[in-house]
Amino acid sequence: MFIDEPTEDEDDIDPFEALNVSTTAPAARGASLLDAFAEDDVEDESSEEEGEVIATLEMGGMMEMNEEIVESVIPLSEAGVNEEEEDIDPFEELGAMRPNVNAVESTNTNVNDALAAFMDEDEYQGPENTIVFEGESATKDEPIEQEEVEEEIQVETEKPRAQPEELYQFLLEGVWVDDVLDPAEVALMARKRRELGISFETHLKILKQILHD
Amino acid sequence: MSILFQHALDLAWSDGRLSKRGAILLENFQEILELSDSQRSVVEEKHHLQVIPHLIPRGHGSGASTLDQWMTSLMDLDDELPRYLISMGRQSLETGISKQAWIEGFTAAERMKCEFEFARGVWEPEFEVEILVWPEVLDPVAKSLGLLLEEE
């Protein structure tokens, strides 16, 4: 007789039941499992909604919630925390002056005023705030500027240009820098005399001024 | 300083002594050159300080005759003088005329009333100039222009 040979008593026992294993087909069981997952998602969505609501609460609310939670866990009276202790002013306890809220507000208003003043300065005030000199009127700014520009142009045009004789004298002084006169320099000066319209007599006069005087 | 009057002094004192005639000729030459007393004194003082101390007297003022001859030759140039001065001016330019040479040459020409001609020879390159051999009487001017060495 072999060891593995089944007996009649053993055939009556359902091995699935004995092992607590489902006997349904995996496909059918998968569908039911999917349905179960779907139900879990619905539950998660509801919990997410709750989280969003909590997140929109203010910090105080959160703190109250926490206190409620704490109180639900440990009553405040038992924890040694009174409502009076919550009202204790830490500044009074430390003997320090409480910051004057009104003063801060006033300084803020002063700062605001100063900034406002700057803002006022930056703003264009119009011709009323322009400096008006004697004999001038603030209303005719543009004509004055035009006149000034015209005067500047006129001054520039009227600037004393170097006279031909002065220019020639300058050149003539340069000719003698090396103390020796050569034909090339003389030719240059002759050409300059023609260009500047200087006569030979004037040339001699300038030369005498440079060298002889 | 007038190189012409300086040359006249050299001639008058050539034998180490100045005669009365030589002194009179110098007075006349001062008038010809239209030198002022102050201008003459500048030239004469320099001559007394730099030349006379080195002179060895070897005569009795015979230099007056030499001075007279030179003055006469210079006056005789007359119309030829401007041509010579133009030529000398051009030659000095071609050799390279210094500032001091220009001043002395121009002043000498001015004393001889030929400064315009001399200046044209130097400063007008388009002006055609005939190159001439200057007479011996103009040697002092040629020396000042650097056309003639001192030894020559």
Quote the CA–CA distance of B86 and B151 in Å, as a whole number. 24
Instruction: Quickly state the pLDDT bin for A145 (edges 50, 70, 90).
Output: confident
Could you say which DSSP state residue B58 is in? -
Q: In this complex, is the C-beta atom of B95 within 8 Å of any C-beta atom belonging to chain A?
A: no
Contact across the interface for A183 and B125, Cβ inside 8 Å = yes
Given this model, what pLDDT does residue A169 score?
Answer: 94
Contact across the interface for B120 and A200, Cβ inside 8 Å = yes
Mean pLDDT of chain A: 65
**Of residues A176, A183, A207, nearest to B93 (C-beta):** A183
Q: What is the pTM of this model?
A: 0.56
Contact across the interface for B103 and A176, Cβ inside 8 Å = no
Best of B1, B110, B123, B126 to mutate (most A CBs within 10 Å, chain A): B123
Q: Which chain B positions have a beta carbon within 8 Å of A190's beta carbon?
A: 123-126
Instruction: Quickly state the pLDDT bin for B22 (edges 50, 70, 90).
Output: very high
Give mean pLDDT, residues A143-167.
74
Q: In this complex, is the C-beta atom of B96 within 8 Å of any C-beta atom belonging to chain A?
A: yes
Give chain A's count of helices (H) and strands (E): 12, 1
Instruction: Quickly state the pLDDT bin for A199 (edges 50, 70, 90).
Output: very high
**Of residues A176, A180, A189, nearest to B123 (C-beta):** A189
Given this model, what pLDDT does residue A24 score?
Answer: 65
Contact across the interface for B96 and A203, Cβ inside 8 Å = no
Quote the CA–CA distance of A139 and A158 in Å, as a whole number. 30
CB B144 within 8 A of CB B95: no
Q: How far B114 CA sits from the closest chain A CA (Å)?
A: 13
Contact across the interface for A186 and B125, Cβ inside 8 Å = yes
Instruction: Quickly state the pLDDT bin for A53 (edges 50, 70, 90).
Output: very low
What is the rounded (10 degree) CA torsion for A7, A10, A15, A19? -120
Contact across the interface for A212 and B115, Cβ inside 8 Å = no
**What pairs with residue B98 in β-bridges?**
A180
CA–CA–CA angle A211, B45, B65 (5° rounding): 105
Task: Give Cα B139 distance to the centre of its chain.
Answer: 7
Instruction: Quickly state the pLDDT bin for A104 (edges 50, 70, 90).
Output: very low
ipTM of the prediction: 0.86
Given this model, what pLDDT does residue A147 score?
Answer: 77
Q: How far A166 CA sits from the closest chain B CA (Å)?
A: 18
Instruction: Quickly state the pLDDT bin for B81 (edges 50, 70, 90).
Output: very high
Q: How far B117 CA sits from the closest chain A CA (Å)?
A: 11
Q: Is the pLDDT assigned to residue A103 strictly greater than 50? A: no
Best of A185, A204, A205, A206 to mutate (most B CBs within 10 Å, chain B): A204
Give mean pLDDT, residues B66-79.
94
Given this model, what pLDDT does residue A158 score?
Answer: 64
Instruction: Quickly state the pLDDT bin for B102 (edges 50, 70, 90).
Output: very high
CB B114 within 8 A of CB B85: yes
Average the pLDDT over each of A193-197, B49-53, B117-121 and give the range with the smallest value.
B49-53
Give mean pLDDT, residues B25-44.
95
Average the pLDDT over each of A89-98, A175-184, A202-211 and give the range with the smallest value.
A89-98
Q: What are the pLDDT digits (tens) for A20-42?
A: 666 666 656 555 555 655 555 54
The terminus-to-terminus CA distance of chain A in angstroms comes to: 159
**Of residues B99, B115, B125, nearest to A211 (C-beta):** B99
Contact across the interface for B98 and A203, Cβ inside 8 Å = no
Given this model, what pLDDT does residue A57 score?
Answer: 46
Given this model, what pLDDT does residue B57 score?
Answer: 84
Q: What are the pLDDT digits (tens) for A60-84?
A: 444 455 555 545 555 555 555 555 5
Q: How far A211 CA sits from the closest chain B CA (Å)?
A: 7
Q: Is the pLDDT assigned to residue B11 strictly greater than 80? A: yes
